[in-house]
């Protein structure tokens, strides 16, 4: 007998028919003799709808009331799934965040879980009952409903698995696992059997949107074994585990991309101490995240070009800040380019093997693709290239690192 947590996201509970088939999935685990706790998110599209309503009713709404509104999507799913389970003869009941309770801080709209009291849930699990928890929500120190931020039901699921000491946390979604690259672009992409937490975190922050990155951090911290799998079939998905649990680690395990990038270049910036601080300081104050940065050494010792990237949505606000400071910063021109893509090669094997970055540069060069900006982390190399080359670059790199399915 194992204790497992199963989480079902938006598309897997999109309508009544799917909720009924989710109930079958849960029942089969129960029938196999396991203790099962379920976490659900809102039916597909419901949360977006609720968020829109909040925006329509008031431009500057009260974040506490926003949480009251957007948390309701999960309440609906939890009740419906509990009913579907009961209909199949499985003892089940729904649980809202405050009933457990899932205690969070009071940062409404993006609260953090502080304490997850599973005493009552465990008692019921031991009696063969299936708790169906409404994900994404908790109760704040102000005794009001909180939500964990968009996509936050993954966090609820991992936090529950950690608190219950569950053997596994299965995340059911519309993809059947983690792939070496986006299968819609790279036809030869392969499904990975296993991937490390660290690689998964890099993938989440570099463009692959399968798991909420806070849920991966939490799983890594508590050693929760995650499985990403499909609710439409019963084939095993991809396990997200500790590096030590993978015997044969691949050099490179994935190639991701993000189109959500915009490039800004400031030309002829005075080359003197403090200039970077005076540019990036005001951007940070405006909550604008800067990602990749390149600055050249000036030839004449007086002025240099500075290039960096921001998220597309931050382009306009960033320009406002920079234009307002032209006099102070002393640059000659401000150029922007939203038609760029960031392509990243990810793999923990990079730590112990040289030449991974070189392979990337060489492959792109052979295809005549110009690299505009480069950045690296311990287990990833990213380049910024023109958006029109996205497909070409992904496919060429996928082959070069021998990731192609045979
Ligand atoms: N329903 C919430 C959202 O759409 C939480 C989730 O799906 O994980 O953001
Ligand atoms: Mg999600």
- Judged by DSSP in three states, 281 sits in helix
Residue with tokens 């102000």: 142
Average pLDDT along the chain: 94
Q: Which ligand is nearest to the CA of 172?
A: 2
Considering only residues 106 and 233, tell me which one the structure prediction assigns the higher pLDDT: 106
- Do the Cβ atoms of 264 and 293 come closer than 8 Å? no
Q: Which token pair is 281?
A: 């300081």
Count how many Cα atoms sit within 13 Å of the Cα of residue 225 in the half-sphere of its side chain.
15
What pLDDT is attached to residue 61?
Answer: 85
Confidence class for position 94, pLDDT limits 50, 70, 90: very high
What pLDDT is attached to residue 352?
Answer: 86
- Do the Cβ atoms of 3 and 34 come closer than 8 Å? yes
> Which of 38, 69, 97, 150 best tests ligand 1's pocket when mutated (most atoms within 8 Å of CB)?
150
Confidence class for position 10, pLDDT limits 50, 70, 90: confident
* Cα–Cα distance measured from residue 100 to residue 223, given in angstroms and rounded to the nearest whole number: 23
What pLDDT is attached to residue 374?
Answer: 95
**Shortest CA distance to 118 belongs to which of 191, 26, 37?**
37
Considering only residues 290 and 353, tell me which one the structure prediction assigns the higher pLDDT: 290
pLDDT digits (tens, 9 = 90+) for 142-176: 999 999 999 999 999 999 999 999 999 999 998 88
Ligand 1 atom index nearest CA of 74:
1
Confidence class for position 392, pLDDT limits 50, 70, 90: very high
Domains, the chain, ordered by start: 3-247 (3.40.1160.10), 249-401 (3.30.2130.10)
* Cα–Cα distance measured from residue 197 to residue 241, given in angstroms and rounded to the nearest whole number: 6
Ligand 1 atom index nearest CA of 10:
7
Ligand 1 atom index nearest CA of 153:
8
DSSP secondary structure letters along 84-129: HHHHTT--EEEE-GGGTTEEE-S-TTS--EEEE--HHHHHHHHTT-
Q: What average pLDDT does range 376-400 have in this prediction?
A: 97
Q: What average pLDDT does range 2-16 have in this prediction?
A: 95
Kindly give, in sequence order, each residue whose CB lies less than 8 Å from that of residue 299, ignoring residues fewer than 6 positions away.
Answer: none
Question: 297: phi > 0 → left, psi -120 to 50 → alpha, else beta; which?
Answer: beta
Q: pTM for the whole thing?
A: 0.88
What pLDDT is attached to residue 185?
Answer: 96
pLDDT at 250 > cutoff 80: no
pLDDT digits (tens, 9 = 90+) for 198-208: 999 999 877 77
- Do the Cβ atoms of 179 and 190 come closer than 8 Å? yes
pLDDT digits (tens, 9 = 90+) for 52-82: 999 999 888 899 999 999 999 999 999 999 9
Q: How far is the CA of 70 from the centre of ligand 2 (A)?
A: 15
pLDDT digits (tens, 9 = 90+) for 176-228: 899 999 999 999 999 999 999 999 999 987 777 789 999 999 999 999 999 99
Q: What average pLDDT does range 239-263 have in this prediction?
A: 88
By the CB criterion, residues less than 5 angstroms from ion ligand 2 are 9, 151
How far is residue 42 from each of residues 13, 14, 56, 171, 391, measured CA to CA in Å? 8, 8, 20, 14, 33
Q: What average pLDDT does range 360-377 have in this prediction?
A: 96
| Residue closest by Cα to atom 8 of ligand 1 | 151
- Other beta carbons within 10 angstroms of residue 44's beta carbon come to 17
- Do the Cβ atoms of 125 and 4 come closer than 8 Å? no
Q: What average pLDDT does range 314-333 have in this prediction?
A: 94
Q: How far is the CA of 311 from the centre of ligand 2 (A)?
A: 20
């Amino acid at each position: 007998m194992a204790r497992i947590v199963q989480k079902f996201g938006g598309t897997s509970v999109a309508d009544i028919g799917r909720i009924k088939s989710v109930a079958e999935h849960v029942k089969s685990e129960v029938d196999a003799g396991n203790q099962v706790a379920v976490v659900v998110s809102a039916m597909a599209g419901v949360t977006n709808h609720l968020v829109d309503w909040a925006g329509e009713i008031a431009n500057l709404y009260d974040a506490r009331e926003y949480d009251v509104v957007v948390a309701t999507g999960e309440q609906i799913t939890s009740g419906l799934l509990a009913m579907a389970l009961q209909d199949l003869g499985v003892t089940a009941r729904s649980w809202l965040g405050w009933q457990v309770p899932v205690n969070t801080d009071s940062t409404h709209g993006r609260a953090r879980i502080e304490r997850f009291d599973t005493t009552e849930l465990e008692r019921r699990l031991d009696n063969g009952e299936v708790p169906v928890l409404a994900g994404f929500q908790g109760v704040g120190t102000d005794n009001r409903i909180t939500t964990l931020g968009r996509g936050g039901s993954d966090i609820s699921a991992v936090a529950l698995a950690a608190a219950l000491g569950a053997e596994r946390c299965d995340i059911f979604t519309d993809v059947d696992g983690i792939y070496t690259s986006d299968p819609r672009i790279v036809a030869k992409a392969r499904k990975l059997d296993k991937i490390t937490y660290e690689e998964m975190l890099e993938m989440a922050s570099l463009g692959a949107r399968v798991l909420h990155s806070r849920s991966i951090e939490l799983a890594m911290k508590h050693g929760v074994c995650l499985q990403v799998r499909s609710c439409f079939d019963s084939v095993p998905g991809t396990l997200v585990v500790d590096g030590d649990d993978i015997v044969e680690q691949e050099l490179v395990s994935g190639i991701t991309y993000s189109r959500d990038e915009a490039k800004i270049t400031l030309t002829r910036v005075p080359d003197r101490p403090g200039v970077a601080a005076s540019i990036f300081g005001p951007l940070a104050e405006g909550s604008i995240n800067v990602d990749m940065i390149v600055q050249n050494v000036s030839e004449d010792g007086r002025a240099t070009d500075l290039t960096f990237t921001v998220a597309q949505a931050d382009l306009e606000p960033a320009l406002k800040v920079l234009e307002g400071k032209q006099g102070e910063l002393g640059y000659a021109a401000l150029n922007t380019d939203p038609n760029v893509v960031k392509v990243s090669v990810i793999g923990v094997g990079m730590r112990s093997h040289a030449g991974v970055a070189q392979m990337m540069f060489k492959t792109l060069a052979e295809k005549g693709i110009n690299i505009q900006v480069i950045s690296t982390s311990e287990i990833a190399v990213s380049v910024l290239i023109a958006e029109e080359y996205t497909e070409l670059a992904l496919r060429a790199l996928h082959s070069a690192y021998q990731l192609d399915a045979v």
